[in-house]
Structure 1
Amino acid sequence: MIVYPQEYKLNCTKIGHWYYGISMSIGSTALASYTYCHDQYHSCPGTVLVDSTNTIRYTVTITWDGMNVSSGSISQSITGDQMYQCILDNPSGADRTRTLTIKVPVTAPSSLTEVNKTTTTITVSWTSLDSSDADGYVVNVTSDTDTVQTVQVEGSSNNTITLNGLRGGTIYCTTVRAYQQLLGPASSTISTFTHCQQEGIYLVYNKKCYINGSYFWDSSVNSVTEAISCVLPGTSLTTGLWVRVADPDDPVDCNSNSASDPFHCTNVTSPATLSFYLAQGLSADQEGWYKCCLPTDCSDHSTKIIFANIF
């Protein structure tokens, strides 16, 4: 199933009555309307003669972008089910009206959440809708605005999926929509950064992967969104540390914001992640090599260590 725009055709068939008017509408909005149509002398746009017994098929092409139904230059904002009417106006008085309802979810799935990730997969879940409101879901994954995957999940109660074949160290944005005959509105978007590697400690800065011994300007590590992170997949954080190599007995004092220790830190328990950024620039004697120890502190000989040079 494609995401937006979705295009489909509505057909209204007339049998007999060679002289007629015909119209197609959604609610009170006319998508097309023609009068004085004649099967032999004046066929109207969109009509096709099916056989010689005055049977014609009238077709309207509809585009649905998630918010608006449009046909040609006509556009109508709508939420939920789409109700169409085809009206045959017969001058003899034998008018006919036929209605069609196309099912469309009213609400978006809520609570879209990242459950797990590796270097090549992301698992997400969301709050499912009732079976009366959804037949299933469509999960859309993009990277740098390009669509990477569009996956259909059948069944209203199925609310978890693992997205495979992704790249490590890449930002992916994910949304989910419920569907019936057409797609409903999109959920909120979540952003996920896949692991740079599945095993071993690594550095992340500005959503990019960095190797052991990478260099960073202190002026560029100056906000929580510009923090340097060390990550150890497959572990849970206990007592990880950042330590200045020149003074290994004096760990970075997080969140003190003092002239001697201008560091602020954040952490994630699983996978073990310890990040820091600077509330102010480093003095000359504070520049140099720093090491990160995960998932325990640097006194544990089994802990993993990685180095970063900040100047």
Structure 2
Amino acid sequence: MWKQTGLVLAITLVGLGPGSAEARFGKRSSPPPSSNPGSSPGGRPSPSPGHGAGTPRPRPAPSGGYYAPGYFSPYGYYGNPWHRYSYFDPAWAWPFMGPYVPSYGRYYRYSQPPPRPVLGVEDAAAQPFTTSFQADGAAVTEGYAVGLGMQTDGERFGFGIDLNLFNLATDDGTGGRDSISLLSVAPSYLVVKQPRVTWRVSAGLDAAFAPSVTMAGPGFGTNARLGLLGPLKLEANAHLTPLPYIQVRGDAGLALDLGHVRLRAGYRATYLDDQGVVDGVRNVDLFRGPFAGFSLVL
């Protein structure tokens, strides 16, 4: 009796020590016999197959032929709580196995980490910001013009930069060329944002770089886009600088959306008035002509 008790305690201490024997040696071993109140009088452990039992009781195995080590009791067969597959009573095995999911059958559960969250279709399709880069060229009176721009839009608010470069023939008969650069930097707000209609307004800072003077002042703009048929859309833009110089710029045209690329073409006009800032003489110019370009949408 004392020898059996000492043997059970020794095996128990080894099993509860740092690092289980099964994990360390990597092999399957039968657990020690366990006592239960209804097995035999005197609290002695019931005999197991191959140890003096008159009629060996076959050890049941889980469906699929996979063998899980364990022991018998009046409440059923209990598997090794440290094994990946076990046949158990949930009330008894829950503190050992834990609420593992998913469940394979009524008594078989496979312990695995919780599944990773799957990104929903709506979350994957949602884009917090869209950015477009545009470039175009125009033929204007006495020269040509090049337009460059960038526009970033969120759900409602955005930010844009617009640069127009004019290369013109001189107006006083001298040689060379005159260049005028118009820069606009402005936050924007989407008043209307629908699949077929968008309307944006902006307010920011404008600057004009002329041959003899550089001026800066407040600028206001608006942009509208209307879907016509399929990828074909109608676009219109307007911009105003009230002081210290006057700039009125507007264009209208068609755009063809081809995924991330948008082709644009139309007519543009730019009115400039320096209000006599340079020498007291008021100088006025009007540049107009067709333009064509493209936008890259990201």
**TM-score normalised according to structure 2 size:** 0.23
Which structure has the bigger radius of gyration?
2
More helix by share: 2
Structure having greater relative contact order (Cα 8 Å, sep ≥ 6):
1
More strand by share: 1
**TM-score normalised according to structure 1 size:** 0.23
